[in-house]
Amino acid sequence: MSKELLTGPIPGQSLTDEPGNFPWEQPPETAKPEEALMMHIEKMSSPEFMEGASILMEIGVPVSILTSTSITGAVAEGIHSIDVGLIIADGIKKELVSIAKMSGVNYIEEFSDEPEVEQRQKDNLKTLVTARLKKKGSKLDEVDVTKTMEAMTSPEVEALEDMQDQQEEGGPEMEQPPQEQQEEPVPEANMGLMSRGV
């Protein structure tokens, strides 16, 4: 049995933990988009972040994925809410593009919409990441890289990207809930105390 399975959380543990233990369960540090964006830009201006982001964009990680990852990380740390993240996403994306241009890095905005091209881009990225890790002498193997890639392109991250796209297009269209069929009232005549009106 894997050591990770033995040390991992017990299924259902999150339902029995006391609420408010995690940063994202507390009120965020800021609710102002301007402040949140400045916090991101301050973090992104560090040499370590710029170097890491440049390497990731050079090997093919799209700017949209890095943007979503930055927002998700900040929400998890309790810096701002998801709503604020959606508001400032475009500013984060522009900052990442400027980092790429300053570093002279070729970058892509996002994975292709065509399934075959998207899969090829993801496979190429996985190969490049694995090769770079092996070159650096990392102990991560292909399984670890695959898990990381799956997390970066998880349904949660894609849902966040979809919400960003909807916001950029003017907001999601409000769907009308389906109309429930109303039962015709049964005449009250000849109904006893326990009668169902049948």
pLDDT per residue as tens digits for the range 100-116: 999 999 888 887 777 77
Residue 151: its H or E element: helix 142-152
What are the residues whose beta carbons fall under 8 Å from the beta carbon of 20, sequence distance 6 or more? Answer: 26
More confident residue, 117 or 180: 117
Please choose, from the candidates 163, 120, 129, the residue with its C-alpha nearest in 3D space to the C-alpha of residue 57.
Answer: 129
pLDDT of the residue at 58:
86
pLDDT of the residue at 22:
78
Whole-prediction pTM? 0.55
Map residue 95 onto helix, strand or coil. Answer: helix
Q: Compute the Cα dihedral for 64, 65, 70, 73 and give only its sign.
A: positive
CA quadruple 123, 129, 132, 134: dihedral, nearest 10: -90
How much of the chain, in percent, has pLDDT values that exceed 90?
Answer: 31
Distances 89 to 51, 71, 116 between C-alpha atoms, Å: 21, 7, 27
